Amino acid sequence: MVTVDARATGAGRGRRGHPIGRLVVSRLGGGVITLIIVSIVVFAATQILPGNAAYAVLGHNATPARLHALELQLGLNRSAAAQYAAWIGGLLTGKAGNSLANGQPVWALVAPRLVNSAVLVALSGLAGALIGVLLGAIAALRKDSLFDYVLSVVSLAVTALPEFVVAISLVILFATVVFQVLPAVSVLPPGTWAWQQPELLVLPIATLVIVVVPYIFRMMRAAMIEALESEYVEMARLKGLPAWRVLLVHALPNAVPPTVQVIGLNLLYLAGGIVVVEYVFDFPGIGQGLVNAVSNRDIPVIQLIVVILAAFYVFMNILTDVVALLATPRRRIAR
């Protein structure tokens, strides 16, 4: 029992605007700077570095004439700054150039994939968050029970599994060797959308949910246990409040903010996780698009997809912080 006299004296706090406004502005500013640097890095890496894009695309047996023609097409003969300006301008105005693989406009190629991937990420995120929070809360309430123990061990094992192992296992279980109840691949006919054939979404979503749930489960469990063992929950019990009220009104609101952070982190993770999962199931999203583009060295497509993923990361991060802040009165309201 150490009594420390170092209590914060609110003296240092001046009025510097609303905490949320301040956070959003500073984080948005930082995010935009990060994104600009990201775009420069992506651009420099793919277009300026030695053995330029045209060479990379055509390979060793390119004739000088073809090389020159491609350089012109890609605008490689201009200065680096001019190329970057043209590229970034194109990205923002929806004219990001044409695919090197089939000549189609890049945005037209990526846009439907983006929608499909967004559906996949949103549904997996939602399902993962719900399941994770629920299981975590139950495990915390039944701490040290068999349910808690089994779930903790399973979650520890599952966090370690690569997505493609999970995906293949699901294919073996439900689509090929053991049962054949679900499609092993999720190929969408051109012109159709992911949600029009829900059975195609089941295995990709299941894979992502399995990978994401353990993290959310572990955080929710830990946050909930911390809340349940806190002095304020002890106090609520000593006030003679009914058990449901102690749980829902006193413990839960304090377990939410850290869990929101982890849910956010896992949505970010999903942005990378879709690459492998879409590839396994042949699901036409940006992840599969990226793998194909890398195989074909389709530089404009790679550039666009990587920048989209980075932008998702940056803004999702900010959103997570804001939501977590809103859920924490101690941080939301100045003294």
State which of positions 187-246 bind other proteins (CB under 8 A): 212, 215, 218-219, 222, 229-243, 245
Residue 105's φ and ψ, nearest 5 degrees, are: -60, 135
Selected range binding other proteins among 63-71, 100-108, 125-133, 250-258, rule: CB under 8 A: 250-258
Selected range binding other proteins among 60-68, 76-84, 90-98, 293-301, rule: CB under 8 A: 293-301
Selected range binding other proteins among 82-90, 115-123, 163-171, 196-204, rule: CB under 8 A: 163-171
CA of 281: how far to CAs of 92, 175, 301, 312, in Å?
31, 11, 21, 23
Alpha helices (H) along 171-241: 198-228, 231-238
Question: Given the structure tokens 């905490």, which residue do they identify?
Answer: 19
Which member of 20, 23, 24, 38 binds other proteins (CB under 8 A)?
A: 38
CA of 252: how far to CAs of 165, 214, 242, in Å?
34, 19, 15
- Contact between 154 and other proteins (CB under 8 A)? no
Q: Which tokens sit at 100?
A: 């090197």
Amino acid residing at 294? V
From the CB of residue 105, how many other CB atoms can be counted at a distance below 10 Å? 15
Question: Given the structure tokens 């749930």, which residue do they identify?
Answer: 213
- Contact between 5 and other proteins (CB under 8 A)? yes
Which member of 82, 149, 272, 326 binds other proteins (CB under 8 A)?
A: 272
66 vs 239, beta carbon nearer other proteins: 239
Q: Which tokens sit at 225?
A: 């246990």
Which member of 119, 159, 319, 322 binds other proteins (CB under 8 A)?
A: 159
Minimum distance, C-beta of residue 198 to other proteins, in the bound complex (Å)? 24
112 vs 128, beta carbon nearer other proteins: 128
Minimum distance, C-beta of residue 6 to other proteins, in the bound complex (Å)? 8
Specify the 3-state DSSP secondary structure of 173: helix
Cα–Cα distance between 221 and 218 in angstroms, integer?
5
How many separate helices (H) and strands (E) can be counted in the chain?
14, 0
Amino acid residing at 308? I
- Contact between 329 and other proteins (CB under 8 A)? yes
Cα–Cα distance between 245 and 194 in angstroms, integer?
42
- Contact between 81 and other proteins (CB under 8 A)? no
Which member of 41, 130, 181, 248 binds other proteins (CB under 8 A)?
A: 41
Selected range binding other proteins among 76-84, 103-111, 197-205, 262-270, rule: CB under 8 A: 262-270
State which of positions 83-142 bind other proteins (CB under 8 A): none
Minimum distance, C-beta of residue 302 to other proteins, in the bound complex (Å)? 5
- Contact between 146 and other proteins (CB under 8 A)? no
- Contact between 2 and other proteins (CB under 8 A)? yes
- Contact between 157 and other proteins (CB under 8 A)? yes
How many residues comprise the chain?
335
